[in-house]
């Protein structure tokens, strides 16, 4: 019975005009014969019609899909759809945000081609459909029912409705270029189906393309098969690089459309005018090549003789082999998805597989997604991924005249293979330009545009340096090499028109830095940051500076550094920021092996040039210390007796020597006052320096030397923590022992007033106690809108330290090799203080945050007066403590003594307005030339900062420093610093920062900068004035 029903369905489908009418009484054998005859005729007709069906891929007519129908609707959602009919097949093309559901399958895509055909059955109509997806993905479906991939054909059979949901439906065929790949895909599937019996499936069939076994599989990154031999040309054309893709591949399809199309059979040409659109697509959808879209005002397609008839048969679709060339003019745009080329006239020579464009702009993308633009009067495309241009410019700006660009006699732009692989540019005779002005020349360059070739350029002028130009170049791009992963290399070039020319390299990365810099000096007058002017006696100057860190594990490491400079004034003059702020220039090797609470270290350090070239180091002591080597072992906080006793221990041993500063104050470009002590007596211990005083000789006369000393050192501390909640009290005892060998300090102690009693051993012992606690109280009912206070929490943390120490050495008896060894001293001291915070909530509902509304950290330190020893005429060049005291509770012997009060506070008045200040006040009278109520204030500051809006910020700060010099040679400092930053517009920002000297009653310094933001860089122009150098600088 099922077979009869199937036969009836087949007859109905394929013999719609066959009518058999029965009337009267007919014998049963006649009925049987008629049934047999009907089956025979049906079989014959079916076979005949199946044989005659033309498989074109544009319809399902004549085929029954071997899929058992499921009860489901076909639901298609999209943005835009085209609908038309081919024979008895309903065709759809849907694009936009497309989602298709049939049965348990769901598909998400941008485009889908649909064929729908209905056939009858005993249970009613069956709808069979085919769906072609150029790309499809559905990550949200469960495994087995989601589909993802390219070039996917889905066939299904169902009983239900077809539901199309789109806001825009056009009742006409879709553009041919949108259908070509799908039609070919369905054609291949139906031909396979017709070639033999098919297996009956129970669910929709998802058919993804596979490379047949007799074909060579495509390999990502490999060259495609060699195209047919190219026609001879009368001009020389560069060949594409190995592995480059041809623009056109055999079998590619050409489709065209426009408002008006004219065909000339005599000349075998097609003229398309009015928004001409020409698409080249791959005949084999598996080949993602040849996908090129061309648009222009007008286009001419030149055909090989005899190709016009094929156009009429295929309705606007051609094999690329029938095309000789394509000419376009008027706002031409060519794109393959990876690049966009614009021009006024473009010609594609199909035979040569080349293209040429006039007045062309090429846009492609670097790996980071930043666009790259190449402009030229004439540009040639020599492969699908490579372009050549002469007299061209490359930039990352879309402006016709870019702010910064690279010009070259010849440029080759190559789109690298692979997704997100980036773009490579090869250029010869390169000029870097600002606008239309060339600023630098380089013979050859190769690299990727995401790496800026010239990441930094600066310029300026002052009366001593003249015009200054500084540039920092990417060396990898300049040399045409691929960068070593993780290594940044820069070429440094500085020009000072009155001073000289500098050239160097800077490497950084993988834990290392290396700077090599040479300077050719014009031997004119130069000025250092100290304001000293001098004329260098060296024509060739420079520096070497490098460091490396290797992490052995999370806590252990190896470090190395090297430093050398040609003279003591070079950094002070040409690296002024480093002179003021950089850590010590040193040549050393250091190892630290740490495990738990213990660490083993080894240090080898040796000065190479004999110059101290940091301002802070010159201000403290003008010499370096060599370690030949130093070995140390430390253990912190070993616990005994159930955490009732803590033991900290340190041990070290070394061989060491001083390296005294070479030269004079004049040759080091430092003012002589930097070396003079207050009330200098011009004795050996306290000489009066002038510009020509030899610094090394002066310090040797004061008892210093460069002899090698051996030193052993240990420090021990035992602590007994007591927890009396909420307070913690920790009594402790500490001891230090030091021993020296090979040489002694008799000469030093004799010259500096300790009667030659400096021994080769030293001991220091101390006993004390530390205490701390924390108390807090919340006031949830406090609310004040004017002060922006929402609840309050008060936190106070009182601290105190008592310590009494004894030192076997007199004050200042030893020269300083290490501040934490020779610089220790003993005293009897008491410290008490408290850190206080008032906290509140700010921000509003959904954004509440806790802030420190008001903070106050205040306390007092009192020590016995006999412990104080600041610099006086008696000490001269010998070590003396700072006139401004500092107390260190964790290691009291390192403190700089002097009884004083201290405090710091801040008040966050609002989210945009904060006031702050600090003070350190001496409790004892210290000799100073200052008189009045504030003569004992050692340090003080008071300031405020305000963020008026995202566009405007402002600060003002007063700072006072008392140098405690009764001779008035070193006057006190009182400075008022202001600063404002104002964003004038989206493009311009203005910053102003004057500094006023309230002691000298003049302008100490001032700067003003205007910054202009461009699409690919920022340009800043400023003027600066410094009263110490009395020089204006522009740049």
Q: Evaluate if residue 475 carries a pLDDT over 60.
A: yes
**What is the average per-residue pLDDT within 352-371?**
74
Q: Evaluate if residue 250 carries a pLDDT over 80.
A: no
> What confidence score (pLDDT) does residue 1029 get?
80
> What confidence score (pLDDT) does residue 558 get?
95
pLDDT band at 357 (very low <50, low <70, confident <90, very high): confident
Per-residue pLDDT tens digits for 49-80:
444 567 888 998 888 888 888 888 999 999 89
Report residue 741 as tokens.
Answer: 């060998």
Query: Which residues share a beta bridge with 502?
Result: 494, 519
Q: Evaluate if residue 14 carries a pLDDT over 60.
A: no
How many C-beta neighbours within 10 Å does residue 645 have?
13
Per-residue pLDDT tens digits for 363-373:
876 555 567 77
| Average pLDDT across the chain, whole number | 81
Lowest mean pLDDT among 119-128, 558-567, 691-700, 1015-1024: 1015-1024
Q: Evaluate if residue 872 carries a pLDDT over 90.
A: no
Per-residue pLDDT tens digits for 712-738:
999 999 999 999 888 999 999 999 999
119: Cα within 13 Å, side-chain hemisphere: 26
Do strands 149-159 and 70-71 pair parallel, antiparallel, or not at all (unpaired)? parallel
Per-residue pLDDT tens digits for 175-234:
988 898 899 889 888 888 877 665 666 556 666 554 333 333 323 333 333 333 333 333
> What confidence score (pLDDT) does residue 199 get?
60
> What confidence score (pLDDT) does residue 233 get?
32
Q: Evaluate if residue 792 carries a pLDDT over 80.
A: yes
Per-residue pLDDT tens digits for 980-1013:
999 888 888 999 999 999 988 899 899 999 988 8
How many C-beta neighbours within 10 Å does residue 948 have?
12
pLDDT band at 267 (very low <50, low <70, confident <90, very high): confident
Residue 321 backbone phi and psi in degrees, to 5? -65, -20
Do strands 205-207 and 149-159 pair parallel, antiparallel, or not at all (unpaired)? antiparallel
Between 792 and 30, the higher pLDDT residue: 792
CA 32 – CA 776 distance, rounded (Å):
108
Residue 1004 backbone phi and psi in degrees, to 5? -75, -45
| Vertex 940 angle, CA 619 and 618, to 5° | 5
> What confidence score (pLDDT) does residue 219 get?
31
pLDDT band at 676 (very low <50, low <70, confident <90, very high): confident
> What confidence score (pLDDT) does residue 627 get?
95
Per-residue pLDDT tens digits for 758-779:
678 999 999 999 999 999 999 9
Per-residue pLDDT tens digits for 812-852:
889 999 999 999 999 999 999 999 999 999 988 888 899 99
Per-residue pLDDT tens digits for 515-541:
999 999 999 999 998 889 999 999 999
Burial of 1010 (0-12, 13-18, 19+ CB in 10 A): middle
Q: Evaluate if residue 954 carries a pLDDT over 80.
A: yes
Per-residue pLDDT tens digits for 309-333:
655 444 556 777 788 888 999 889 8
**What is the average per-residue pLDDT within 387-416?**
70
Query: Which residues share a beta bridge with 638?
Result: 647
**What is the average per-residue pLDDT within 87-105?**
89
pLDDT band at 124 (very low <50, low <70, confident <90, very high): confident
**What is the average per-residue pLDDT within 679-687?**
74
> What confidence score (pLDDT) does residue 40 get?
39
Q: If DSSP states are collapsed to H, E and C, what string results for 655-722?
A: EEEEEECCCCCCCCCCCHHHCCCCCCCCCCCCCCCCCCCCHHHHHHHCCCCCCCEEEEEEEEEEECCE
Q: At what angle do helices 28-52 and 2-14 cross, to 10 degrees?
A: 50
CA 431 – CA 443 distance, rounded (Å):
9
């Amino acid at each position: 019975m099922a077979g009869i029903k199937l036969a009836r369905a087949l007859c109905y489908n394929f013999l719609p005009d066959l009518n058999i009418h029965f009337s009267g009484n007919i014998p049963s054998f006649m009925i049987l014969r008629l049934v047999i005859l009907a089956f025979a005729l049906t079989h014959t007709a079916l076979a005949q019609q199946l044989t005659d069906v033309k498989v074109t891929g544009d319809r399902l007519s004549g085929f029954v899909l071997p899929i058992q129908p499921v009860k489901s609707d076909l639901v298609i959602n999209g943005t835009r759809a085209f609908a038309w009919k081919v024979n008895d097949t309903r065709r759809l093309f849907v694009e936009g945000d497309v989602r298709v559901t049939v049965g348990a399958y769901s598909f998400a895509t941008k485009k889908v081609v649909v064929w729908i055909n209905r056939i009858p059955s005993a249970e009613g109509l069956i709808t069979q459909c085919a769906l072609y997806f150029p790309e499809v993905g559905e990550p949200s479906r469960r495994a087995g029912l989601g589909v993802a991939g390219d070039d996917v054909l889905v066939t299904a059979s169902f009983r239900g409705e077809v539901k199309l949901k789109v806001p825009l439906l056009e009742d006409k065929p879709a553009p041919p270029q949108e259908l070509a790949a799908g039609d070919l895909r369905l054609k291949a599937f139906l031909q396979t189906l017709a070639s033999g019996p098919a297996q009956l499936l129970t669910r929709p069939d998802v058919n993804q393309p596979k490379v047949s076994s007799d074909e060579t599989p495509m390999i990502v990154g490999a060259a495609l098969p060699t195209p047919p031999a190219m026609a001879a040309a009368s001009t020389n054309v560069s060949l594409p690089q190995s592995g480059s893709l041809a623009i056109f591949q055999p079998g590619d399809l050409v489709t065209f459309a426009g408002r008006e199309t004219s065909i000339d059979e005599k000349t075998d040409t097609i003229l398309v005018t009015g928004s001409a659109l020409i698409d080249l697509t791959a005949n084999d959808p598996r080949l993602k090549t040849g996908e090129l879209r061309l648009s222009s005002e007008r286009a001419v397609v030149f055909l090989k003789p005899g190709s016009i008839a094929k156009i009429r048969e295929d309705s606007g679709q051609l094999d690329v082999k029938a095309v000789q060339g394509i000419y376009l003019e008027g706002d031409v745009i060519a794109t393959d998805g990876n690049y966009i080329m614009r021009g006024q006239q473009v010609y594609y020579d199909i035979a040569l597989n080349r293209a040429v464009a006039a007045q062309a702009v090429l846009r492609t993308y670097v790996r980071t997604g930043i666009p790259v633009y190449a402009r030229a009067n004439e540009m040639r495309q020599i492969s699908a991924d490579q372009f050549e241009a002469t007299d061209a410019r490359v930039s990352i700006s879309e402006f016709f005249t870019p702010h910064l660009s690279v010009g070259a006699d010849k440029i080759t732009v190559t789109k690298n293979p692979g997704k997100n692989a980036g773009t490579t540019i090869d250029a010869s005779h390169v000029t870097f330009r600002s606008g239309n002005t060339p600023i630098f020349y380089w013979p050859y360059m190769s690299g990727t545009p995401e790496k800026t070739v010239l990441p930094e350029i600066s310029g300026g002028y002052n009366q001593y340096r003249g015009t200054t130009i500084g540039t920092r170049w990417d060396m990898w791009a300049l040399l045409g090499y691929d960068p070593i992963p993780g290594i940044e290399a820069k070429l440094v070039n500085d020009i000072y028109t009155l001073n000289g020319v500098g050239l160097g390299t800077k490497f950084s990365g993988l834990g290392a830095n290396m700077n090599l810099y040479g300077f050719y000096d014009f031997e004119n007058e130069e000025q250092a940051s100290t304001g000293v002017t001098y004329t260098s006696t060296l024509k060739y100057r420079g520096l070497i500076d490098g460091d490396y860190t290797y992490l052995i594990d999370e806590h252990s490491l190896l470090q190395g550094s090297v430093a050398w400079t040609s003279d003591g004034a070079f950094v002070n003059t040409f690296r002024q920021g480093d002179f003021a702020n950089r850590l010590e220039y040193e040549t050393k090797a250091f190892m630290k092996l740490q495990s738990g609470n213990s660490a083993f270290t080894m240090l080898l350090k040796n000065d190479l040039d004999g110059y101290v070239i940091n301002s802070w180091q010159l201000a403290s002591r003008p010499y370096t210390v060599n370690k030949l080597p130093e070995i140390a072992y430390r253990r912190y906080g070993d616990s005994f007796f159930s955490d009732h006793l803590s033991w900290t221990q340190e041990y070290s041993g070394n061989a060491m020597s001083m390296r005294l500063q070479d030269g004079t104050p004049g040759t080091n470009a430092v003012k002589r006052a930097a070396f003079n002590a207050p009330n200098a007596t011009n004795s050996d211990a306290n000489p009066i320096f002038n510009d020509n005083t030899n610094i090394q000789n002066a310090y040797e006369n004061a008892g210093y030397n460069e002899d090698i000393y051996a030193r052993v050192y240990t420090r021990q501390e035992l602590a007994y923590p007591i927890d009396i909640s909420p307070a913690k009290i920790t009594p402790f005892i500490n001891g230090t022992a030091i021993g020296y060998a090979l040489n002694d300090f008799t000469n030093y102690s004799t010259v500096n007033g300790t009667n030659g009693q400096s021994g080769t051993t030293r001991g220091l012992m101390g006993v004390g106690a530390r205490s701390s606690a924390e108390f807090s109280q919340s006031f949830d009912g406090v609310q004040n809108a004017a002060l922006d206070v929402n609840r309050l929490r008060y936190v106070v943390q009182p601290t105190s330290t008592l310590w009494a120490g004894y030192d076997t050495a007199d004050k200042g008896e030893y020269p300083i090799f290490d501040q934490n060894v020779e610089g220790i001293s003993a005293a009897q001291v008491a410290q008490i203080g408290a850190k206080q915070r008032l906290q509140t909530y700010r921000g509003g509902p959904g954004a509440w945050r806790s802030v420190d509304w008001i903070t106050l950290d205040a306390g007092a330190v009192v020590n016995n007066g006999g412990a104080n020893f600041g610099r006086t005429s008696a000490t001269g060049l010998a070590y003396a403590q700072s006139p401004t005291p500092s107390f260190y509770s964790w290691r009291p012997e390192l403190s700089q003594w002097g009884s004083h009060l201290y405090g710091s506070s801040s008040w966050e008045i609002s989210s945009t307005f904060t006031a702050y200040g600090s003070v350190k006040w001496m409790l004892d009278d210290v000799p100073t030339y200052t008189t009045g109520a504030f003569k004992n204030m050692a340090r003080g500051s008071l300031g405020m900062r305000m963020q008026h809006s995202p566009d405007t910020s402002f600060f003002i700060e007063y700072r006072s420093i008392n140098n405690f010099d009764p001779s008035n040679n070193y006057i006190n400092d009182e400075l008022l610093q202001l600063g404002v930053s104002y964003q004038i517009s989206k493009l311009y920002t203005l910053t102003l920062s004057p500094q006023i000297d309230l002691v000298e009653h003049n302008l100490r310094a001032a700067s003003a900068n205007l910054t202009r933001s461009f699409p690919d860089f920022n340009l800043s122009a400023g003027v600066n004035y410094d009263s110490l150098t009395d020089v204006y600088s522009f740049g």
